[in-house]
């Protein structure tokens, strides 16, 4: 089953008066780009976090966030850095002695100073198992969402493939009609000009025109690409880059058909093919 590159997932767990929450969001990008934001005390785990993410995600931009809340602070239990507090008070007194008009630092000012209120020390090894279990649960939920959206994309693309096949069928039916109409116009033109052409030379010209206007090979390649696209849509691994390449090939054949178009009907078919292919290409950009 194909996967979308756009998804979002969160998981929250409480343990030892701490609530830690994982949040992962992914968007489409050509290559895998992982951004991890975690508390400084857990930076030693970043490499392992990245390795776990790469086991689940192969392509796209990934933003992974971990936030930790000390639940004991909700019970008015705050750890203060009294060394910094003493330095702030001493500096405030010294400044006030130089200029009495300056208002000394109050409690709010001191508590707001960076480093005064210290978060509870996190025992990394004790929480590691729970952290990674929660991260894996978040990744699994993310994959489920990517697969749901991938299924929707697959259905949409399969419908577009059917529409393209319908257009190629119409084009194939039109080929002999175009050749017959072209021969008829040339013969009528010759009669109108009262010319007596060389029959053998005329047949050679008809063959040349038929080869020039023939779009059978392009239609065959379109059909082959459509079969390949449908095969890729049934696979479970990353197929986004392969599908993107096939979109380029479809567009190449549609352009060639347009350049060979000898009547308004095949021109319209060429335009419709290009519209369908562009719609598919936009959706393929979001497939992992």
Q: How far apart are CA 9 and CA 82, in angstroms?
A: 40
For residues 55-84, average pLDDT:
80
Instruction: Classify 130 as helix, strand or coil.
Output: helix
| 110-133 confidence digits (pLDDT tens) | 777 777 776 555 666 668 888 999
Torsion of CA 281, 282, 283, 288, to 10 degrees: 80
Residue 207 pLDDT exceeds 80 = no
- Pick from 83, 12, 23, 14: nearest CA to 53: 23
Is the predicted pLDDT of residue 193 greater than 70, yes or no? no
| Least reliable range by pLDDT among 32-41, 166-175, 207-216 | 207-216
Is residue 76 scored above 50 in pLDDT? no
The helix (H) or strand (E) run that includes residue 78 is none
Interatomic CA distance for residues 84 and 229, integer angstroms: 64
Which pLDDT belongs to residue 112? 78
Contact 24, 64 (CB under 8 A): yes
Helix or strand or coil: residue 286?
A: coil
Comparing 8-12, 97-101, 149-153, 161-165, the range with the smallest average pLDDT is 97-101
Q: Evaluate if residue 73 carries a pLDDT over 90.
A: no
287 within 8 A of 236, measured Cβ to Cβ: no
The terminus-to-terminus CA distance of the chain in angstroms comes to: 11
pLDDT tens sequence across 4-53: 999 999 999 988 778 889 999 999 998 999 999 998 888 899 999 999 99
User: Which residue, among 18, 67, 55, has the nearest Cα to 136 in the 3D structure?
Assistant: 55
pTM comes to 0.72
Q: What is the pLDDT of residue 170?
A: 92
Q: How far is CA 21 from the centre of its chain?
A: 25
- Which is higher by pLDDT, 49 or 213? 49
User: Checking phi first, is residue 80 left (phi over 0); if not, alpha (psi -120 to 50) or beta?
Assistant: beta
The helix (run of H) or strand (run of E) holding residue 100 is: none
Number of other CB atoms surrounding residue 58 within 10 Å: 14
How large is the average pLDDT for residues 195-216?
A: 66
- In 3D space, the residue among 169, 267, 173, 257 whose CA is nearest the CA of residue 217 turns out to be 257
Question: Tens of pLDDT along 220-251?
Answer: 999 999 999 999 999 888 999 999 999 999 99
pLDDT over 90, % of the chain: 51
């Amino acid at each position: 089953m194909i996967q979308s590159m756009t998804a979002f997932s969160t998981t929250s767990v409480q343990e030892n008066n701490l609530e830690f929450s994982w949040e992962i969001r992914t968007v489409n990008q050509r290559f895998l780009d992982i951004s991890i934001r975690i508390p400084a005390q857990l930076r030693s785990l970043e490499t392992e976090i990245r390795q776990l993410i790469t086991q689940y995600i192969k392509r796209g931009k990934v933003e992974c966030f971990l936030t930790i809340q000390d639940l004991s602070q909700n019970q008015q239990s705050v750890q203060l850095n009294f060394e910094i507090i003493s330095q702030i008070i001493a500096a405030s007194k010294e400044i006030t002695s130089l200029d009495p008009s300056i208002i000394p630092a109050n409690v709010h000012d001191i508590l707001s100073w960076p480093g005064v209120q210290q978060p509870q020390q996190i025992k990394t090894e004790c929480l590691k198992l729970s952290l990674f279990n929660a991260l894996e649960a978040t990744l699994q939920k993310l994959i489920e969402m990517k697969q749901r959206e991938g299924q929707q994309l697959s259905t949409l693309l399969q419908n577009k493939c059917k529409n393209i096949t319908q257009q190629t069928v119409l084009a194939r039916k039109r080929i002999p009609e175009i050749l017959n109409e072209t021969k008829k116009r040339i013969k009528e033109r010759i009669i109108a000009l009262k010319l007596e052409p060389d029959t053998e030379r005329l047949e050679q010209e008809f063959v040349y025109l038929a080869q020039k206007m023939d779009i059978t090979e392009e239609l065959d390649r379109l059909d082959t690409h459509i079969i390949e696209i449908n095969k890729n849509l049934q696979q479970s691994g990353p197929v986004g880059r392969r599908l993107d390449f096939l979109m380029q090939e479809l567009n190449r054949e549609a352009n060639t058909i347009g350049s060979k178009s000898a009547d308004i009907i095949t021109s319209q078919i060429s335009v419709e093919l290009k519209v369908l292919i562009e719609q598919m290409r936009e959706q393929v950009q979001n497939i992992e």
